[in-house]
Amino acid sequence: MTGLESHEVPEEVDPEGWTLRVTGAVDSPLDLDRADVAALPAETFEEDFECVEGWTAADLTWRGVRVGALIDRADPTSAASHALVRAMDGEYACSFPIERLATAVLATELDGEALPVEHGGPARLVPTESGTDCWEQIKWVAEIELRESEPSDGDTAKELALSRIDS
Ligand SMILES: Nc1nc2c(c(=O)[nH]1)N[C@H]1C(S)=C(S)[C@@H](COP(=O)(O)O)O[C@H]1N2
Ligand SMILES: [Mo]
> Sorting pLDDT into bands at 50, 70 and 90, what band is 163?
confident
Is 80 exceeded by the pLDDT of residue 158? no
- Cα(77) to centroid of ligand 1, in Å? 30
Judge whether residue 25 has pLDDT over 90. Answer: yes
Q: Give percent of the chain above pLDDT 70.
A: 98
96 lines ligand 1 (CB under 6 A): no
Q: Are 144 and 21 in contact (CB under 8 A)?
A: yes
73 three-class SS:
helix
Residues 3 and 46: their CA atoms lie apart, in Å, by 13
How far is CA 24 from its chain centroid? 17
- Does 98 or 153 have the greater pLDDT score? 98
> For the chain, what is the total number of helices (H) and then of strands (E)?
4, 10
Q: Is 139 in the pocket of ligand 1 (CB under 6 A)?
A: yes
At 41, is the pLDDT very low, low, confident or very high (cuts 50, 70, 90)? very high
> For every residue of 38-52, which 3-state class applies, written as one string?
HCCCCEEEEEEEECC
Residues with CB under 5 A from ligand 2 (ion): 51, 134
According to the model, what pLDDT value does residue 166 have? Answer: 59
Q: Could you read off the pLDDT of 43-57 as tens digits, one per residue?
A: 999 999 999 989 999
Distances (CA, A) of 149 to 24, 35, 97: 11, 32, 9
CB 138 less than 6 A from any atom of ligand 1: yes
Distance CA 64, CA 123 (A): 8
Map residue 77 onto helix, strand or coil.
coil
Confidence of residue 141 (pLDDT cuts 50, 70, 90): very high
Q: What is the dihedral of CA 39, 13, 15, 26, to 10 degrees?
A: -20
Indicate if the pLDDT at residue 153 is higher than 90. Answer: no
Q: Using alpha carbons only, how large is the chain's radius of gyration in Å?
A: 15
pTM: predicted TM-score of the whole model, two decimal places:
0.95
pLDDT class of 29 with cuts at 50, 70, 90? very high
The SS3 call for residue 150 is: coil
Q: Which positions ≥6 away from 43 have C-beta within 8 Å? A: 63, 64, 65, 66, 105
Give yes or no for residue 132 CB within 6 A of ligand 1: no
Give the pLDDT of residue 22.
98
pLDDT in tens, 76-101: 999 999 999 999 998 899 999 999 99
Where is pLDDT greater, at 59 or 91? 59
Question: Looking at residue 81, what is its pLDDT?
Answer: 98
